[in-house]
Structures are given as structure tokens and as C-alpha cells.
């Protein structure tokens, strides 16, 4: 190894290695003992935390080959060893651009021209294309909403239903000894368990001794209010007990109504619980805010107030170990704000370089949850908010809201 590289500081090498794909890091390990040690440190760090990426087909000139090459390239960059992969899909108006048979000649299409059948075809095709690129034994969850949310190089990406090209935002969740994500599907013609007590909820979600629930994402396939509201009421009773005991030991809850859920089981899924479970002694922290302004003119006031609370909570100590979810109403996109990617970029401006994923839904589920992690007292910073009508003190099924969840992972 040449003198210039030999004299490089360890921190400089770690910084350089952080930009390398994993397969190149493995090659770097063969150079010398020092590089082997530092590259291993980078690999261990990568494999401990979730990773995201977002993809959008740019125009109709992109064909199946381009899509395959791009997905294959992006999947090679997945640093962690995923235990679960989650894909948020949009609903593009045209899907022929991914078809080898699409060249502008309708006679080459090998499926009926019925709009209904074409819509079903394009949804299934998108899922199948991704599934074919993933390991067969890797648990996969596909959520088709009215649009997707993602981030790339600290730039927010919001792709709504009027986008004519397919896109997805993905989340790869690794095996980790301090925390894990569990998902529990409820299928049609299956009765939802009665979750009346903490024990019922822990048993249903698979929470073990010395573990606790930190975050719950509810994904609903057109579930009726008559079924959803009793579920939320039970969750609120459980949260109230936890908050009275210790607000930091309670959990945030977000979610929304989507078009389709697919857990690759072959069954029709009506409800999914995606749950973050951590060890009691771990330093996993969660903060969540609900943005719903009475009028558009009051957006800035509500936004600044809630964001300041989230920043005070102490959930953003390390940008490389944070994950954020955004669930927004389908009416809160560029037509409402008169600017593309508005709310996602506003969030990333306050919490730079955080990995952001999410979707646009047809109804939202959420609650404000801002514990004061900087204090030993059983204190919730949300009590400092002056305008109580802006608060969601209980998990509510609502509309025209945006819900932001910030999660900090620390071993």
C-alpha cells in the first residue's frame, strides 16, 4: 500500500468507505489489516439500520430493460441484510412503458383493452417485476396508495396519482438485536382479534418479555369505520394506561386507507399492523406530529409549532440512524401547496439526510406523540402547545392531514 494511503487518518478512510457499495467494501478488506478493520466497521454499521430508495420511471421511452437494469443496480446497493422489505407503490395512468410489447402499436398488446382489466394488469405487473428481483424467502409487503413519498440525497419526492409513470418507495429492514419490525396481516373473512388489554396487543404482535412497542403503522384496505373505530378505541385505552405509567414507554400510531395490500400470501389482505418493537434497554426513540391546519393560511403557524416540538423531543441525535414515515392525504399535494414535493422537503429541511418513506392515502390515522426524552420526568412536550384544538390526544381516523413519524435507532 502506497505511502499517501498509509498516512490517511482513520476518520478520513471511514468517510471514504461510507460512499462505497458493499461489494466494493468487501474488496477493500483484502488490501491490508487496517482497511479490513475499517471496512468491517462500516459494514456492521450499515447492516444495523433500515435502508430506503425510491424509483420512478421517467418517461415512456424507458423500457423493461432500463427498469431491470436500474432495479438490479439499486438492489446491489442495499447494505443491510433485510429481514423484511416494504414497497409503497403509486397507481400510474399508463403502464405500457414497462411492457416489451409496447411500441405504440395496439395490436401488439397481449391483454384486453378494457380499462378495468388494464388497471389490474399494471398493478400486478409492477409487483411481479419487483418480486422477481428479491429473494424468495424474504418477507415482502406491497402497499398501493394514491401516491408515494420518498427521499433521495436529502430531496423530498412526492409522486401523486396523476403521475402517468409507475414509481415506488421502498424500505429494507435488517435483522437487529435491539429492535425489529413485525407485520401482522388480517385477511378478508378473518375476524379481527379483540385487543382490549396490553396483554392482548402484545400477544397479537409477538412482543416478548423485556420488549416494548414503539411505533404502529396501520395499513387499511378500505376498512369500514364500524370496524376501524372500535379498534382505535381499544388502542387508545392501552396507550392511556402506558402514558400514565411512563409516556416514553407508550407508542406512536400512524397509518391510512390504501387501494391494495399484498403480503405475497395469495390471500386478500384487509388490514396490516406494521410494528416497531424494541428492547426495553435500547435507546430507540420515536416522535410523531399530526399536521392539520384549519385554513391554508394557517399552515405555517401549525407547521412551525409542531416541528419545534419534535425538534425539542431529542429524537434526532444522529442523522445516519434515523428513519421517518410520512402519511399524507391525497389532497395535500402540489395542487394544494402550489409546489411539488412541498411537505417532504419542509420536513427534510428541519431533519436533513433522514431516510423518508410513505404514501398518500384516502384517509389517515394518527396521533400527536412528543415525549421529552431529554428529561427523566414523565413529561410530554405536547402539553406546551397553546392551541389545543390542533392536538390529536387520541389516535383518530381523520382526513386532510399529514402525519410525520421520526424514529431514532441507537444500539
pLDDT at 102: 37
pLDDT at 232: 94
Task: Assign 3-class secondary structure to 22-71.
Answer: HHHHHHHCCCCHHHHHHHHHHHHHHCCCCEEEEEECCCCCCCHHHHHHHH
**Residues in contact with 189: Cβ distance below 8 Å, sequence separation at least 6, in sequence order:** none
pLDDT at 103: 40
Of the candidates 98, 82, 196, 89, which has an alpha carbon nearest to the alpha carbon of residue 146? Answer: 89
Are the beta carbons of 405 and 325 closer than 8 angstroms? yes
First-last CA distance in the chain: 34
pLDDT at 117: 34
Are the beta carbons of 407 and 286 closer than 8 angstroms? yes
pLDDT at 116: 36
**Residues in contact with 153: Cβ distance below 8 Å, sequence separation at least 6, in sequence order:** none
Alpha-carbon span 171 to 147, nearest angstrom: 16
pLDDT at 65: 61
Are the beta carbons of 380 and 187 closer than 8 angstroms? no
pLDDT at 222: 78
Are the beta carbons of 36 and 64 closer than 8 angstroms? no
Are the beta carbons of 178 and 276 closer than 8 angstroms? no
Task: Average pLDDT across each block of 10 residues of the chain; the chain has 411 residues. List them in order.
Answer: 65 80 77 85 76 75 62 72 88 48 37 37 59 76 92 91 77 87 90 89 94 96 77 95 92 94 90 94 92 89 93 78 93 91 96 93 94 86 77 91 93 56
State the cell numbers at 237.
385505552
Amino acid at each position: 500500500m502506497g505511502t499517501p494511503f498509509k498516512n490517511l487518518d482513520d476518520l478520513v478512510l471511514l468517510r471514504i468507505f461510507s460512499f462505497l457499495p458493499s461489494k466494493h467494501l468487501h474488496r477493500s478488506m483484502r488490501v491490508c489489516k487496517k482497511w479490513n478493520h475499517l471496512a468491517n466497521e462500516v459494514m456492521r454499521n450499515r447492516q444495523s439500520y433500515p435502508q430506503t430508495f425510491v424509483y420512478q420511471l421517467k418517461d415512456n421511452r424507458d423500457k423493461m430493460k432500463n427498469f431491470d437494469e436500474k432495479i438490479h443496480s439499486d438492489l446491489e446497493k442495499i447494505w443491510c441484510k433485510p429481514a423484511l422489505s416494504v414497497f409503497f407503490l403509486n397507481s400510474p395512468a399508463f403502464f405500457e412503458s414497462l411492457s416489451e410489447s409496447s411500441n405504440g402499436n395496439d395490436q401488439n398488446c397481449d391483454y384486453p383493452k378494457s380499462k378495468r382489466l388494464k388497471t389490474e394488469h399494471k398493478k400486478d405487473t409492477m409487483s411481479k417485476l419487483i418480486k422477481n428481483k428479491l429473494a424468495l424467502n424474504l418477507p415482502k409487503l406491497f402497499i398501493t396508495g394514491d401516491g408515494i413519498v420518498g427521499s433521495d440525497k436529502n430531496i423530498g419526492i412526492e409522486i401523486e396519482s396523476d403521475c402517468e409513470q409507475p414509481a415506488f418507495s421502498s424500505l429494507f429492514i435488517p435483522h437487529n438485536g435491539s429492535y425489529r419490525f413485525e407485520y401482522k396481516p388480517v385477511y378478508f373473512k378473518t375476524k379481527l382479534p379483540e385487543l382490549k388489554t396490553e396483554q392482548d396487543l402484545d400477544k397479537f404482535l409477538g412482543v416478548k418479555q423485556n420488549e416494548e412497542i414503539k411505533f404502529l403503522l396501520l395499513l387499511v384496505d378500505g376498512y369500514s369505520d364500524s370496524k376501524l373505530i372500535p379498534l382505535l378505541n381499544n388502542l387508545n385505552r392501552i396507550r392511556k394506561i402506558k402514558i400514565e405509567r411512563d409516556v416514553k414507554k407508550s407508542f406512536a400510531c400512524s397509518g391510512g386507507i390504501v387501494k391494495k395490500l399484498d403480503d405475497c400470501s395469495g390471500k386478500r389482505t384487509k388490514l396490516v399492523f406494521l410494528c416497531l418493537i424494541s428492547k426495553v434497554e435500547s435507546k430507540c426513540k420515536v416522535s410523531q406530529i399530526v399536521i392539520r391546519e384549519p385554513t391554508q393560511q394557517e399552515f405555517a403557524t401549525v407547521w412551525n409549532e409542531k416541528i419545534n416540538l419534535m425538534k425539542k423531543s431529542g429524537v434526532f441525535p444522529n442523522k445516519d440512524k434515523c428513519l421517518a414515515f410520512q402519511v399524507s392525504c391525497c389532497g395535500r399535494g402540489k395542487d394544494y401547496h402550489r409546489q411539488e414535493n412541498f411537505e417532504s422537503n419542509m420536513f427534510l429541511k428541519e431533519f436533513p439526510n433522514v431516510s423518508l418513506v410513505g404514501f398518500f392515502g384516502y384517509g389517515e390515522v394518527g396521533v400527536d406523540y412528543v415525549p421529552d426524552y431529554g428529561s427523566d420526568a414523565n413529561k410530554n412536550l405536547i402539553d406546551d402547545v397553546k392551541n389545543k384544538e390542533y392536538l390529536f390526544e387520541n389516535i383518530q381516523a381523520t382526513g386532510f392531514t399529514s402525519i410525520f413519524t421520526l424514529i431514532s435507532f441507537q444500539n
